[in-house]
Homo-oligomer: A and B are copies of this chain.
C-alpha cells in the first residue's frame, strides 16, 4: 500500500468480490478508480462507496437505485437544483428503508414464532425415538 490506494486484487480480497464485479461497477459509474497507466487504483473514496454498494445490495436495492443514492455522498460539487433532486431521492430511499426496517421486525417476530412452534412439535415426538 504505497499511498492509500489499493490494487484490484487487494480490493477483491478485502471485500470478497471478483475483479469482474469491480470492473462492472466501474462501467456502471458506481466506482471511479484512478489509473496508473492501465491499472486501476482504488482510493478510500472507492472503498467507502463499495461498502455502501454492497450494503445496498443486501437490502434488495438495484445498482441503479444505489448509484443515485451514492451521489448524496459527494454532494458539494453539485448545482442547487441537482442537489435538491438528489435530496428528494434520498428522502424517498430513507422512507423505503424505514418501511423495510419495520416490516423486517414483523417478519423476524413471525419467523421466530414459527420456529419455536416447530421446535415444540419436534420435542413432542422426541419421546418416541431414542437418541442416536
- Which residue numbers of A lie inside 8 Å of B, CB to CB? 55, 57-60, 69, 72-73, 75-76, 80, 83-84, 86-87, 90-91, 93-94, 97-98, 100-101, 103-105, 107-108, 111-112, 114-115, 117-119, 121-122, 125, 129
Contact = CB atoms under 8 A, between A and B. Distances in A.
What is the total number of copies of this protein in its complex?
2
For the complex of A and B, list the 8 residue pairs with the smallest distance between their C-beta atoms, beginning with the closest: A60-B60, A101-B104, A75-B118, A97-B108, A72-B114, A87-B118, A94-B111, A90-B115
Contact of A72 (B55, B80, B83, B118): B118
B119 A87 contact: yes
Nearest to A96: B58
Nearest to A122: B83
